[in-house]
Amino acid sequence: MVAARYDVLGIGNAIVDIIARADDDFLLAQGMRKGAMTLIDEARAAAIYAAMGPATECSGGSAANTVVGVASFGARAAFIGKVKDDPLGRTFMHDIRAAGVAFTTSPAADGPSTARSYILVTPDGERTMNTYLGAAQDLTAADIDDAQIAAAEIVYLEGYLWDPPQAKEAFVKAARIAHRTGRRVALTLSDAFCVDRYRDEFIDLVRKRMVDIVVANEAELKSLYETADFDTAVRALQRQAKLGVVTRSEKGCVVVSPEALEAVAAFPVDRVVDVTGAGDLFAAGFLVGLARGKDYRTAARLGALAAAEVIQHIGARPAVSLQALAAENGLAV
Ligand SMILES: Nc1ncnc2c1ncn2[C@@H]1O[C@H](COP(=O)(O)OP(=O)(O)OP(=O)(O)O)[C@@H](O)[C@H]1O
Ligand SMILES: [Mg+2]
């Protein structure tokens, strides 16, 4: 095995977030499914943008947020994802590199514009996402660099990659290279409705051990195993997965391994401003912990710490150094 150059390499949809506050009536009037990620076309994107209030633009994308979190912990991170060579795409490229993440995927010269997610944050801090995939659709297996995958301790993949038709080939290629070179593969289930779209394929990935580490929230896990009962879903995961972690918002998370179920508390937060990125940043801390050989509880605490930071401000990327925050909390990585 070659020496690892990265702790975590993420592959996902490269998206710029356009975030505005909205009340529940706005979601209702727009027919939006609160808390979910809904795919939209360009016309709908224009209509939502015209209707929404003053917005903040920041680079996002689930796996991209996670690797930015990994870098903020002082760990080594890389990202593969597709933007277009347009203003938003250049912003995305700048931001991810400025955060210390290796990002070398070549941008598309033509075709659809860089992906955007129109995110409405309601007064309760919940986020509702409307995503135009645009250039992210054009990520293909050709964008997967074998040597880069082989150099990552953990390759982290988004379930959302199942939406753009060719990206799943990139996903499968990356997972195969990772396993051939002795690396671990992690998957986030991304969104309960995304699980609904690809349930059988996701279960297959877990059962066939194409994936070593499953990251999910409670709704996604229940959707995966088509049950309303959390314990039933957790036991199903325990039977099928090598390792899993299930997040439960303010209730923390449960680490699921064949030997044990371990509940780990959330870090208390005074005021939740915007939950966008909670799951992504949890994954960052958890994966950094695993990549650095920490025990499951410590990894989960690192995840909870990063998630607690990101939900106290607008946007899905850390506003402070997670490395410093971890050290202050006795969790130095
Ligand atoms: N209200 C809260 N207070 C403290 N910690 C929280 C709160 N909400 C979320 N977290 C932290 O974030 C982690 C992930 O949250 P959650 O289970 O809601 O994921 P998610 O639904 O994927 O989030 P996202 O909105 O980013 O998709 C939790 O395990 C917890 O550590
Ligand atoms: Mg999530």
Q: Kindly give the number of the ligand 1 atom that is closest to the alpha carbon of 279.
A: 22
Residue 230 lies in a domain: yes
For ligand 1, say whether the CB of 117 is within 6 Å of any of its atoms.
Answer: no
Asked whether 224 and 191 are in contact (CB, 8 A), the reply is: no
Residue 1 lies in a domain: no
Ligand 2: centre distance to CA 3 (Å): 32
Two tokens, residue 30: 């727009």
Specify the CATH number for the domain of residue 247.
Answer: 3.40.1190.20
Nearest CA owner, ligand 1 atom 2: 250
**What pLDDT sits at residue 184?**
98
Residue 333 lies in a domain: no
Q: Which domain holds residue 141?
A: 6-328
The total of other beta-carbon atoms located within 10 Å of residue 199's CB is: 15
Nearest CA owner, ligand 1 atom 1: 250
pTM beyond cutoff 0.95: yes
Two tokens, residue 8: 């975590």
**What pLDDT sits at residue 131?**
98
Ligand 2: centre distance to CA 217 (Å): 6
CA 326 vs. chain centroid, Å, equals: 20
Bridge partners of residue 157, in order along the sequence: 11, 187
270 SS3 class: coil
Distance CA 111, CA 316 (A): 27
Ligand 1: centre distance to CA 272 (Å): 10
Residue 281 lies in a domain: yes
Domain count within the chain: 1
Residue 172 lies in a domain: yes
Nearest CA owner, ligand 1 atom 19: 279
Residue 104 lies in a domain: yes
Q: Kindly give the number of the ligand 1 atom that is closest to the alpha carbon of 218.
A: 17
**What pLDDT sits at residue 186?**
98
Residue 127 lies in a domain: yes
Residues in the chain: 333
**What pLDDT sits at residue 2?**
75
Ligand 1: centre distance to CA 145 (Å): 32
Residue 222 lies in a domain: yes
**What pLDDT sits at residue 165?**
86
DSSP state of 251: G
Q: Kindly give the number of the ligand 1 atom that is closest to the alpha carbon of 125.
A: 1
DSSP state of 25: H
> Which ligand is nearest the CA of 310, by number?
1
Q: What are the average pLDDT values for consecutive 10-residue runs of the chain, which has 333 residues?
A: 91 97 98 97 97 96 98 98 98 98 98 98 96 96 97 97 92 97 98 97 96 98 98 98 98 97 97 96 98 98 98 96 98 93
